[in-house]
Structure 1
Amino acid sequence: MTEVKPGDTVRINYAGRLTDGTSFDTSEGREPLQFTLGEGQVIPGLEAHVAGMAPGEKSTVTIPSDQAYGPHRAEAIQTLERTKVPAGLDIEVGTQLQAKTADGTMMPIRVVELDEATVKVDANHPLAGKDLIFDVELVEIVKAA
């Protein structure tokens, strides 16, 4: 039986949940997720789990945060003066914004607190610091390496 190896392009169905059972993502109702092993297109723990699976195989894996979106970093939370936010921008807790880093790349940030004078933003991925559970089905190997 053919097993997935680095360089293969695969398609999987999946359902992701937190350790408390809260669902955060699923491929249900969509096309299966397609990616190539070894190209960093999905979190490392999921990629490692799919390696060695055979088409039609189903399994469940718990991926620790360090193999998912990494630890929650306190230094990624910053409080900005309200004057640093573009005037006329309608923001509230949960608003997604883009910030330019020192090297010019754009980084997603989320408003987590605000008042008249300040806006607190968080650059952590919403799933940072969380262990994730995935139910995975390898649908097919689209292209073998």
Structure 2
Amino acid sequence: MIIAQQSTVTLHFTIKMKDGSVADSTYNMGKPAKLTIGDGSLSQNFEQCLFGLQTGDQKAIELPAADAFGMPNPDNIHYMDRAKFVGDAEVEVGTIMAFSGRDGMEIPGIITEIAGDSVTVDFNHPLAGQDVTFEVEILSVE
């Protein structure tokens, strides 16, 4: 079978930055990813690049930021009172912390600045605004 709309695909992927460094890889986790084409988990442009591939195929897909993880959204940057950070959690620039979203789901945020009692937290995807290359290996197509 070849990948088409509604296909269930099991694949390994590696996300590489422009400098060749690896940002993420299912190989490192030891477990492939499984997804359904058209379920919204991938950008439409990325899905289009997978169409026509089949089991055993390998492909490098270069994606501009807008087609990968999107561009940073200024509405996803929040300023919080430092007093809200209690307990053992170290409040340092660069720390990624889990925050509770409105729906109760955990959302990762990156602390980008600390100024007095104000902590700036960026809830954009860490790879937002980055051009990336996805290297995929298709394991199965259903």
Q: TM-score, normalised by structure 1?
A: 0.81
**In the alignment, does 2:19 pair up with 1:20?**
yes
More moved, 15-24 vs 37-46:
37-46
Looking at structure 2, the residues matched to 76 and 64 of structure 1 have their Cα atoms a distance apart, in angstroms, of 20
Which residue number corresponds to residue 131 of structure 1?
131
More moved, 132-141 vs 89-98:
89-98
CA RMSD of superposed structures (Å): 2.2
Equivalent positions of 1:38-117 (< 5 A) are 38-83=38-83, 85-88=84-87, 90=89, 91-93=91-93, 94-101=95-102, 107-117=107-117
Looking at structure 2, the residues matched to 63 and 26 of structure 1 have their Cα atoms a distance apart, in angstroms, of 16
More moved, 67-76 vs 128-137:
67-76
| Residue-by-residue CA offset, 1:38-92 (whole Å, 9 max, x unaligned) | 1122344432221211211111111121112110123322322223x14335232
Structure 2: gaps (5+ residues): none
Which residue number corresponds to residue 8 of structure 2?
9
Tell whether the 8 Å contact from 2:9 to 2:34 is kept in structure 1 after alignment.
yes
How many percent identity over aligned positions? 27
Amino acid aligned to 1:3 = I
Looking at structure 2, the residues matched to 56 and 75 of structure 1 have their Cα atoms a distance apart, in angstroms, of 41
Looking at structure 2, the residues matched to 134 and 87 of structure 1 have their Cα atoms a distance apart, in angstroms, of 38
Computing the radius of gyration from Cα coordinates, the structure with the larger value is: 1
Looking at structure 2, the residues matched to 74 and 68 of structure 1 have their Cα atoms a distance apart, in angstroms, of 18
Post-superposition, which runs of at least 4 consecutive aligned residues in structure 1 deviate over 6 A? none
Amino acid aligned to 1:123 = F
Structure 1: gaps (5+ residues): none
- Tell me the number of residue pairs that the alignment of Structure 1 and Structure 2 aligns: 139
Looking at structure 2, the residues matched to 58 and 86 of structure 1 have their Cα atoms a distance apart, in angstroms, of 45
Tell whether the 8 Å contact from 2:96 to 2:108 is kept in structure 1 after alignment.
no
